[in-house]
Amino acid sequence: MSGRPFAEYLDAQMFPPLGMRHSRTIDSGRDLPPGARGHLYIPGFGNGSGGVLTTANDMAQWLIAQRDGRISPRTIEKMRTPLRAE
């Protein structure tokens, strides 16, 4: 929706403003050595592109920001709305 890569957007627009100093995205092609990739498929469960690695404290900052108004209700609604692949 922003027109920017997921990791770039989070690094600029989410992590710093929310004080999430110990969070990052991981790009498996770039950040992990070559070889077999483990995975677990759970029907009905998904996560954002790239995945986010974080600490409990940073996750708390994320949850608090959703409750205290730093993230708008409209944005929260969009985040929680499933998208279908075309």
Report pLDDT digits (tens) over 16-33.
999 999 998 876 556 555
- What's the number of CA atoms in the CB half-sphere (13 Å) around residue 72? 3
The model's pTM = 0.66
Of the pLDDT bands very low, low, confident and very high (cuts 50, 70, 90), residue 42 is low
- Greater pLDDT, 64 or 82: 64
- Residue 27: which of 4, 45, 52 has the closest Cα? 52
Mean pLDDT of the chain: 80
Lowest mean pLDDT among 2-6, 17-21, 59-63, 68-72: 2-6
Question: Percentage of the chain surpassing pLDDT 70?
Answer: 71
Q: Where are the domains of the chain?
A: 6-31+47-79
Residue 37 has pLDDT above 60, yes or no: no
Averaged pLDDT for residues 54-74: 93
